[in-house]
């Protein structure tokens, strides 16, 4: 049992809020694998304030996805708080998360949001405090180890977030300047855990059972957040949930499992998006699902030419037949 504020999760496995990936279709698949807590992809505070329909559409979710956290990014305490209130009123999420970890230039440099906030501890306190006072649901914060190697301040930031009323903190053990390169720094996650009393969620480089165990055992973190490790491999969630619950190791997915998941995922996407958009998105997911399978590259080339769901299904069905005859 894992708890954030008054929200209880069945386990301590958490889905990261990956932009452009974590829409309702993908989240439902991850939930079916047993994930304890789902984080939806970030929305802009300005997008909410200016009543952007595109931003509001990103708040769509289904009840089966609960408990769910909605992440928001921005750089101003007043717009942040107002946006958080709007999200709470429209979506009714279980948790609201403040993004202070996104490293991409569009967010961190152009908007001075995301990980750029790590350079301004006072602003961090103001934003977290303002959001906590404005909404009724628990507020969490996602951070990195620091802006760069000369300003590792995750412990200081975590303490500030706790003092300002945050109910939990997620730490990605890399600096903003690292992006996703190099190795995750487990020591900084461990230090944060040792210095705060709220739950700490460890994040970064969790791609297997071994790396998940190492994150928990070394850092002492209360939960683990998984992002890129589930792209093409949502079964990782099931593997971790099963192991930590029973100690048993489940079988790896077969090629049939992977192709069938493509069909399943496409079906979910078609329910929430126009066919053209759903197929465009699904092409990338198919590439992730079939990675490592025989002739994957040539099939991927075909997939990226598909314009309709029928074309995509035909390619996948043909590929399944080829695999059955060759494996």
For the chain, the structural domain boundaries read 2-246, 255-326
Report the CATH superfamily, name and number, of domain 2-246.
Aldolase class I (3.20.20.70)
In the chain the beta strands, taken as DSSP E runs, fall at 2-4, 7-9, 13-15, 37-44, 68-73, 95-100, 139-146, 168-175, 200-203, 223-226
Q: pTM of the predicted model, to two decimals?
A: 0.95
Which one is catalytic: 22, 102, 161, 262?
102
Are 49 and 76 within 8 A, CB to CB?
A: no
Q: If you average pLDDT over every residue of the chain, what do you get?
A: 95
Render pLDDT for 108-123 as a digit per residue (tens, 0 to 9): 677 788 888 999 999 9
Render pLDDT for 39-96 as a digit per residue (tens, 0 to 9): 999 999 999 999 999 999 999 999 999 999 999 999 988 899 999 999 999 999 999 9
Are 42 and 22 within 8 A, CB to CB?
A: no
CATH number among 3.30.960.10, 1.10.1200.80, 3.30.390.50, 1.10.486.10, domain 255-326: 1.10.1200.80
Domain 2-246 identical in fold to domain 255-326: no
Q: Give the whole-angstrom CA distance, residue 192 versus residue 302.
A: 47
In this prediction, residue 108 carries a pLDDT of: 65
Give buried/exposed letters for 286-299 (b at 16+ CB in 10 A, else e). Answer: bbbbbeeeeebeeb
- Of 316, 224, 297, 285, which Cα lies nearest the Cα of 20? 285
In this prediction, residue 244 carries a pLDDT of: 96
Residues, the chain: 327
102 is catalytic: yes
């Amino acid at each position: 049992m894992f708890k954030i504020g008054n929200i209880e999760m069945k386990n301590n496995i958490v889905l990261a809020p990956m932009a452009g990936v974590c829409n309702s279709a993908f989240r439902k698949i991850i939930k079916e694998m047993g994930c304890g807590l789902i984080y939806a992809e970030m929305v802009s505070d300005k997008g909410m304030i200016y009543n952007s329909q595109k931003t509001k559409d990103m708040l769509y979710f289904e009840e089966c996805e609960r408990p769910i956290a909605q992440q928001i990014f921005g750089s101003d305490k007043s717009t942040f708080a107002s946006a958080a209130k709007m999200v709470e009123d429209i979506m009714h999420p279980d948790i609201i998360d403040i993004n202070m970890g996104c490293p991409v230039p569009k967010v961190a440099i152009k908007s001075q949001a995301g990980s750029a906030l790590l350079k301004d501890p006072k602003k961090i306190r103001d934003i977290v405090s303002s959001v906590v006072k404005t909404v009724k649901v628990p507020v969490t914060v996602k951070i990195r180890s620091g802006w760069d190697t000369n300003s590792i301040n995750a412990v200081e930031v975590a303490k500030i977030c706790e003092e300002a009323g945050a109910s939990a903190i997620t730490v990605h053990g890399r600096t903003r300047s690292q992006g996703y390169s190099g190795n995750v720094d487990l020591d900084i996650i461990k230090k944060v855990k040792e210095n705060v009393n709220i739950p700490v969620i460890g994040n970064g480089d969790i791609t297997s059972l071994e790396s998940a165990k190492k994150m928990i055992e070394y850092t002492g973190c209360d939960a683990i957040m998984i992002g890129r490790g589930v792209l093409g491999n949502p079964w990782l969630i099931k593997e971790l949930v099963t192991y930590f619950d029973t100690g048993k190791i489940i079988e790896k997915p077969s090629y049939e499992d992977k192709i069938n998941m493509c069909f399943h995922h496409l079906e979910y996407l078609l329910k929430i998006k126009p066919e053209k958009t759903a197929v465009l998105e699904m092409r990338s997911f198919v590439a992730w699902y079939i990675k490592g399978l025989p002739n994957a590259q040539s099939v991927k080339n075909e997939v990226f030419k598909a314009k309709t769901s029928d074309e995509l299904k035909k390619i996948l069905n043909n590929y399944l037949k080829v695999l059955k005859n060759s494996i």
